[in-house]
Structures are given as structure tokens and as C-alpha cells.
Structure 1
């Protein structure tokens, strides 16, 4: 019973965070990519590829995370386990976001040096 409750909480919150952050990064990323690349069609293509990869990585991690879930026996464990796993997903999203920004920044610098 408690496992199902923790699955529902985890899936609901992590899905919302994944979709909302993906949508926001997609919208804000347009301006950033246009500043870096100066080609609107290429920027849109890159932005869509980044969004697709973002969703695949996050949904894959969520699915794997469910496979290794330990048995939850109380409501306190439901809250603790759900919070820890949601927090870890949030940290992964943050790391991926900054990794993408740094990669695009260095790519831009490499292209302008040529």
C-alpha cells in the first residue's frame, strides 16, 4: 500500500518537474542559442534535439529509479523516500542544464576562433 502511494507521489512530482523544466528550457533556450549560433533554423533544430534528449534521459532515469525501489512500510518512509528521489532528479536536471550551457558556450567560442 505504501509503495503504491510513494510511486504515485514520485511519478506525479517528477513528471511535472520534468515537463515544466523542459518546456521552460526550450522557450528560454531559443534566445540563448540564437545568440550563440546566429542561424534561427539551426537553433530550432538543436533546441528540439536537446529537448528530446532531455525527456529521454529523465524518463529513463525515472523508470530505472522505480525498478530499484525498496519496500516502504510507513508514511514517514513514503515522504522520506519520495523526497530523496525527487531531490536527486532535481540535482540531475540542474547538472544536465549547466552541462549543456557550458558545452554550447565552448562550442560557440571554438566556432568564433576559426
Structure 2
């Protein structure tokens, strides 16, 4: 029963964080992409692809992480296991965000050199 409570807390928090961060990055990313690449149609396409990949990676990780939980025996474990899993999601989001920004920066740098 405690595992189910932990799953529900984790799924609710991780889904909210994933969707909210994805929406924010999608809207703010339009301006960043337009600054880097001066073609609005290409920017929109790249932004949509990034959003789709972002959702697939994060929702896939959320689904896989549910299968690797041990049995939870107390409410303390519910909080600690759920907090660690949510923290992992947030770290993955952060790393993916900075990899995308750095990749786009390098792309822009290469386009301006040529």
C-alpha cells in the first residue's frame, strides 16, 4: 500500500514538473532560437522537435524508474524514496536543458564562422 502512495506522489509531482518545465522552455526557447537561427519556420520546427524529445525522454525515465523501486515499509521511506526520485528527475531536466542550450550555441557559432 505504501508503494502505491509513493507512486502516486511521484507520478503527480514528476508529471507536473515535466509538463511545466517543458511548456516554459518551449515558450522561452522560441526567442532564443530566433536569436540563434534567423529563420522563424526552422526555429518553430526545432522547438517542437525539442519539446517532443524532451517529453519522451522524461516520461520514459519516469516509467522506467517505477519498475526499480524496492518495497517501502514506512512513511519515512515513502518521503525519502519519493524525494530522491523527484530530485533525479529535476537533475535530468537541468542537464538536458544545459546540453540543449550549449548545443544550440555551438550550432550558432559554427553557422556564423562559415
TM over 0.5: yes
Which aligned runs of 4 or more in structure 1 are off by greater than 6 angstroms? none
Q: Normalising to structure 1: TM-score of the pair? A: 0.99
Give me the CA root mean square deviation: 0.3
Q: Shift in Å at residue 42 of structure 1?
A: 0.3
Aligned-partner Cα distance in 2 for 1:9–1:70: 16
Q: Shift in Å at residue 58 of structure 1?
A: 0.2
Q: Normalising to structure 2: TM-score of the pair? A: 0.99
Give the unaligned 5+ runs of structure 1: none
Structure 1 partner of 2:43:
43
Q: Shift in Å at residue 96 of structure 1?
A: 0.1
Q: Shift in Å at residue 35 of structure 1?
A: 0.0
Structure 1 partner of 2:100:
100
2:12 paired with 1:12 = yes
Structure 1 partner of 2:65:
65
Give the unaligned 5+ runs of structure 2: none
Residues 40-61 of structure 1: per-residue CA shift (max 9 Å, x gap)? 0000000000000000000000
